[in-house]
Amino acid sequence: MKNLKLTIIFSFIIIKASAQFVPDYKRVADVYFQNHEYYAASEYYKKALNLSNDSVSGLTLPYIAENKVKSKKQNADIEQMVFNLAESYRIYKDFQNAEKWYSIAKDFSDEKYALSPYWYAVSLRANNKYDEAINAFENFIKKYKGEQAYVKQAEQEIASCNFALNEMRYPRLVSLKQLSAPVNAKGSNYAPLVQNNMMYFTSSRPINTSGKTEILGSGNSKIKKKESPYINAIYSIERAYIQSGANTTINKVELGFSSSENAAIALSPDGTRAFFTKWDAKENTKNIYTAKKIGDKWSQPESVGIQINIKGYNSIQPFVTTDGKYLLFSSDRPGGQGKYDLWFAPLRNDGTLGQSINMGTEINSAGDDQAPYYNSKNKTLLYSSNGRVGLGGFDFYEANGDFSSWSSPENLGFPFNSSKDDIYFAAIDTDGNKGYISSDRESVCCLELFQVQREFINLKGTLLDCESGKPIEKAKVILTDSLNNTSKELTLASDGMYSFKIDVPRPIKITVEKEGYFSKTIRFSRQDLAKADTLLNPNLCLTPLVIDKPIVLKDIYYEFNKAELTPMSAQALDILADIMMDNPKITIELSSHTDGIGSDAYNLDLSQRRAQSCVDYLIAKGISAGKIQAKGYGKSMPIAPNTINGKDNPEGRALNRRTEFKVIKK
């Protein structure tokens, strides 16, 4: 007998041919499952397992000792139902219940359930249990003997969990607000588009239907099913009603396909041509169609043609750039990098399209890349992918480019993204910082619409020459995220001004480099960045680097006749340690000098010991011993008179008691 931490009592109902009115719940559930009707399948599997709800605690798998053959078959049926129930919940995105049932299925010994531990880990991740998910993925990798593709995916999931934990420590400057009714309603609500004062979106909300009967299954497994009232269609609403929260109705956009499902509308800049995704039930594919506005109605839609739609493949989610030059879309057509790829095609003035071009390996991953949005003003592509390291499911990514080349996509982080699916973006403002997204982060099953606002901290200043006070041009300024080591780089113009936009208040550093100057790094803590929306650093300056030119280290003090450093001296040497770390190629001589009191030999020895104490301190701070030389000069190199007219000059002697460094190699 197999003991499980979560177990089930199963009451199997044997049905004879004459008992046609007694429901065989397992048979019905299997038919629904095979026909991809996963919600209905889950309901009937629960009935077959004799469950009144989704609680599975405190129960045991049956084992009938008197009839072992029957018991083995019964247990096999139960294992299949448990696995199919978990699968049903996962596929329609109810990860809370999927986690419960995969926690049982992951212990089944039959090889056909070998992926249960993987999907259990995925469910944990989707439920924001990142630490538990990491352990579950690691256990899966150790034990799984099947396709290596799942091992690689599990490794990426672990990387994503670690990324998510780091992101949630330092959330991005993003605010989200879930839209209320009538925009969000029962079913999925997604794919927003904003044009002028209107928002268009897709919804699978229930519609009035006559409830046609559909036959699923075959032979003795035939069952009758009412036609689903959840049909994807495109709707519109005035944005003023969204912003005010006033009660209003939404309007269905009539596109001439009364019996077809439509989604993800895109409009030309003048609003006279529409592109959208149309379901083809006969071919079991989705393709992009277009219609022209005539008066206040749309013409009969037609396929955009073979440049976009290829028979037997899917082309979905059209987007027209704000300058009207390109149509972007997602497709699983041949010639891509993975599953669904992003493509674009030139859009002519008459609405016809040129040849489709894949957006390349920089953008497309081995997974699904979907729902493109492009801002022509700032040349920014924003899209969703489930093939990269992220928080889980589909995440939003952003890349800069002009359709000839692209920067590496950057994950937009938490809370712009969540552990579940985040897909489809539409901007409200011209910069693309405010808009609408769809996400199932707060839903059991379905996408919902949210308003999103990205905020930034501005880090700006002017780079000056420390000696002349004049701006330094053509210097390189590098902003680095101290946690993930990603960086952004600027080359300064003649005014020496720099400016960065930061979207997350976490530790960063600015490194400034210019030939002929000491490089400098300035670090900012999370607290520094949280103080204001604009952080000014007007006094950033670089010191000219001249070989063999002595630079006095201020505030290096010693007790009389001693070489040990005082606490204040250590603080001054910390500055030199930073200079050495910022300029790792230089070699310096660190020298100590005395005043004129005492013999030459005594002062030479004292200054050497003092110089060495400074070098020892720097080595202890991590500076390579080969990069520093200690040199004591005694009283041989005064920079001020020790006496004036035969009288003691305390001020001059104080200047002569100094510690300097100079660059001897760079």
SS3 195: strand
The mean pLDDT of the chain is 87
Whether the CB-CB separation of 447 and 440 falls below 8 Å is answered with: yes
State mean pLDDT over 208-213.
53
Q: β-pairing, 534-536 with 457-462?
A: parallel
How far is it, in rounded angstroms, from Cα 72 to Cα 78?
A: 10
**What pLDDT does 422 receive?**
97
Please, which pLDDT band fits residue 6 given cuts at 50, 70 and 90? very low
* pTM (predicted TM-score): 0.79
Arithmetic mean of pLDDT, 603-626: 95
Of all residues in the chain, what percent carry a pLDDT higher than 90? Answer: 64
Phi, psi (deg, nearest 5) at residue 620: -65, -25
Helix (H, G, I), strand (E, B) or coil at 129: coil
68, pLDDT greater than 60? no
pLDDT given for residue 483 in this prediction: 72
- Burial of 490 by CB count in 10 Å (0-12 exposed, 13-18 middle, 19+ buried)? middle
**Torsions phi, psi for 582 (to 5 deg):** -75, -20
Q: Does the pLDDT of residue 292 top 50, yes or no?
A: yes
> Counting beta carbons within 10 angstroms of the beta carbon of residue 498, is it exposed (0 to 12), middle (13 to 18) or buried (19 or more)?
buried
Return the sign of the alpha-carbon dihedral for residues 592, 596, 598, 604.
positive
pLDDT band at 16 (very low <50, low <70, confident <90, very high): very low
Range in 15-19, 539-543, 631-635 with the lowest mean pLDDT: 15-19
- Identity of the highest mean pLDDT range in 496-505, 517-526, 610-619: 610-619
pLDDT confidence band for 640 (50 / 70 / 90): very high
Q: What pLDDT, in 10s, does the model give residues 111-149?
A: 999 999 999 999 999 999 999 999 999 999 999 999 899
Residues 185-201 have a mean pLDDT of: 93
**Highest mean pLDDT of the ranges 84-93, 216-225, 294-303, 540-549:** 84-93
Contact between 505 and 457 (Cβ < 8 Å): yes
Confidence of residue 282 (pLDDT cuts 50, 70, 90): confident
Least confident range of 42-51, 159-168, 377-386, 396-405: 42-51
- What does 629-648 look like in DSSP terms, one character per residue? EEEEEETSS-SS-SEETTEE
- pLDDT reading at 213 higher than 60: no
Is pLDDT of 246 > 70? no
Q: State the pLDDT at residue 454.
A: 95
pLDDT at 625 over 90: yes
d(CA 585, CA 452): 46
- Provide Rg for the chain, Cα atoms: 35
Distance spanning both ends of the chain, measured CA to CA = 75
Q: Determine the pLDDT at residue 110.
A: 94
pLDDT value for 342: 98
pLDDT band at 221 (very low <50, low <70, confident <90, very high): low
E-assigned strands of 484-558?
487-491, 497-502, 508-513, 520-524, 534-536, 541-542, 551-553
pLDDT attached to residue 5: 33
Q: Is the dihedral of CA 132, 53, 79, 72 positive or negative?
A: positive
pLDDT at 103 over 90: yes
pLDDT number for residue 56: 53
Strands 233-238 and 251-252: antiparallel
Provide long-range contacts, Cβ within 8 A and 24+ apart, for 227-232. 230/187, 230/204, 230/205, 230/206, 231/204, 231/207, 231/261, 232/188, 232/202, 232/203, 232/204, 232/261, 232/262, 232/263, 232/279
Tens-digit pLDDT profile for residues 21-63:
224 889 999 999 999 999 999 999 998 888 755 555 444 343 3
Q: Nearest 5°: phi and psi at 278?
A: -120, 135
Residue 11 has pLDDT above 50, yes or no: no
Q: Residue 537: its pLDDT value, please?
A: 63
pLDDT the model gives residue 18: 28
Question: And the tokens for 343?
Answer: 């493509």
- Nearest CA to 384 among 355, 358, 356, 409? 409
Predicted confidence (pLDDT) at residue 1 exceeds the cutoff of 50:
no
Q: Which secondary structure element, helix H or strand E, spans residue 530, and what is its range?
A: helix 526-530
Closest CA to 406 of 366, 371, 374, 429: 374
What is the per-residue pLDDT for 67?
37
Length of the chain counted residue by residue = 666
Domains of the chain (ranges; CATH) run 25-169 (1.25.40.10), 174-205+227-454 (2.120.10.30), 457-542 (2.60.40.1120), 551-665 (3.30.1330.60)
Answer whether residue 216 shows pLDDT above 70: no
Q: What is the pLDDT of residue 259?
A: 64
Mean pLDDT confidence for 476-480 = 90
CA 138 to chain CA mean position, Å: 22
Please compute, for residue 4, the number of CA atoms within 13 A of its CA located in the half-sphere on the CB side.
27
Say if strands 233-238 and 223-226 run parallel, antiparallel, or are unpaired.
Answer: unpaired
CA dist., res. 565 & res. 643, Å (int): 27
Of 420 and 457, which is predicted with more confidence?
Answer: 420
Q: Which of 244, 361, 281, 263 minimizes the C-alpha distance to 319? A: 263
**Under a CB-based contact definition with an 8 Å cutoff, are residues 652 and 641 in contact?**
yes
Q: What pLDDT score was predicted for residue 14?
A: 30
* The two structure tokens encoding residue 563: 């070489």
**For 523, what's the count of Cα atoms within 13 Å in the CB-facing half-sphere?**
7
Is the confidence at residue 393, as pLDDT, over 50? yes
Structure tokens at 384: 């969703």
Q: Which of 69-73, 515-519, 550-554 has the highest mean pLDDT?
A: 515-519
At 328, is the pLDDT very low, low, confident or very high (cuts 50, 70, 90)? Answer: very high
Q: How far apart are CA 502 and CA 482, in angstroms?
A: 13
Tokens of 516: 């002929």
- Which of the 8 DSSP states describes residue 566? P
**d(C-alpha 562, C-alpha 543), whole Å:** 32
Which tokens hold the place of 247? 């009660």
pLDDT at residue 341 tops 70: yes
Predicted pLDDT at 66: 32
